[in-house]
Amino acid sequence: MKTKEQQAMKAGIITIIVNIILTTFKVIAGIAGSSTAMIADAMHSFSDLYTTAIVMIGIKLAGRKADKDHPYGHERLECVAAILLSAVLAFTGGAIGWMGIRQILSREYGGEMGVPGVIALVAAIVTLAVQGLQYLYKRGVAKRIESTALMADAWHHLSDALSSVGSFLGILGARMGFPILDPIAAIVICLVVLKVAVDVFREAISKMTDKACDAATEDEMRHIVMTHEAVAGVDVLRTRLFGDRIYVELEISVCATSNVSEAHDVAHRVHDAIEGAFPKVKHCAVHINPVVL
């Protein structure tokens, strides 16, 4: 089976090839079809190229083994890639929005550019289909390899698909005699992109600040620990997310009459049970507290 890095690289290469073709088509359609919204949408698709490159580099670096200077590994570099991606998205969204606002303020819509042509409508429909399929594909890979950065890139594809809906409505409205709807659609695209940028940023920051696992996960961990007969209780359970991996600290109560070897065996079995039940757990530390039963 391919490694996480290999699967991510394959998904990235496919995305880059598809988006080079799609961006070229949308630029041509935007110019030939006299559509500001489609040109703005092409800018969004072009941003997929460098955000995918950022994700690929981030996952590559995050996959490096632990070393002397980084004994806990490099997983957080994937979150750094996601943060950079959110910044690129925010910049792209702002540029798209400014294009639409400037046209409305200067009343350039429906002027030199003219009424959007049919090819612009076709490009919007093609983009919606292609980016929707790319979102589903990359989301599936991201869930399978549990990658924050790749999931963020998948959301980028979804935002592109949603922006194409705005492009279609704006272009259609302009062709029906309401040319102002074309730059308005560009502003709507801007808002969609900025929303995705904020969501990606918040998710990445959350994983950078040692946030605990959700209550359901911790409850399940307690249940697994308590299934061992020799464990009298769970005194302390701490979890923290390190990138996409989990670190667990446990303090469990074991009968005070147990010898060192027996207590060590209990701790070892609890350790293996937790890491076996939760593949995302990178390290589980178990401390034994003696208790009189």
Question: Considering only CA atoms, which of 130, 142, 128 is closest in space to residue 10?
Answer: 142
DSSP string, the chain: ---HHHHHHHHHHHHHHHHHHHHHHHHHHHHHTT-HHHHHHHHHHHHHHHHHHHHHHHHHHHTSPP-SS-TT-STHHHHHHHHHHHHHHHHHHHHHHHHHHHHHHHT-TTTTS-SPPHHHHHHHHHHHHHHHHHHHHHHHHHHHHT-HHHHHHHHHHHHHHHHHHHHHHHHHHHHTT-TTHHHHHHHHHHHHHHHHHHHHHHHHHHHHTTPPPPHHHHHHHHHHHHTSTTEEEEEEEEEEEETTEEEEEEEEEEETT--HHHHHHHHHHHHHHHHHH-TTEEEEEEEEEEE--
For the stretch 237-251, pLDDT in tens is 999 887 678 899 999
Where residue 260 sits, what CATH number does that domain have?
A: 3.30.70.1350
Where residue 19 sits, what CATH number does that domain have?
A: 1.20.1510.10
For the stretch 124-144, pLDDT in tens is 888 888 888 988 998 888 888
- At which of 208, 226, 243 does a domain end? 208
Same domain? For 111 and 147 the reply is yes
Specify the pairing of strand 245-255 against strand 231-242. antiparallel
Lowest-pLDDT range of 104-118, 211-225, 256-270: 104-118
Same domain? For 96 and 202 the reply is yes
Same domain? For 203 and 226 the reply is no
- At which of 208, 233, 260 does a domain end? 208
Integer Cα distance of 48 and 227 in angstroms: 48
For the stretch 270-291, pLDDT in tens is 999 999 999 889 889 999 999 8
- At which of 208, 231, 266 does a domain end? 208
Percent of the chain residues past pLDDT 70, beyond the cut = 94
- The pLDDT of residue 18 is above 70: yes
Same domain? For 88 and 221 the reply is no
Phi-psi region of 117 (alpha: psi -120 to 50; beta: other; left: phi over 0): beta
If one compares 275 and 81, the residue with the highest pLDDT of the two is 275
Same domain? For 188 and 238 the reply is no
For the stretch 140-194, pLDDT in tens is 888 888 777 788 788 778 777 777 777 777 778 777 877 777 677 778 878 877 8
Same domain? For 257 and 192 the reply is no
Same domain? For 174 and 270 the reply is no
Asked if 54 contacts 85 with a C-beta cutoff of 8 angstroms, the reply is: yes
Same domain? For 270 and 127 the reply is no
Same domain? For 193 and 271 the reply is no
Same domain? For 26 and 129 the reply is yes
Q: How many domains does the chain have?
A: 2
pLDDT, the chain, mean: 81
- pLDDT, position 270: 93
Same domain? For 120 and 57 the reply is yes
Same domain? For 157 and 274 the reply is no
- Residue 228 belongs to what domain range? 215-291
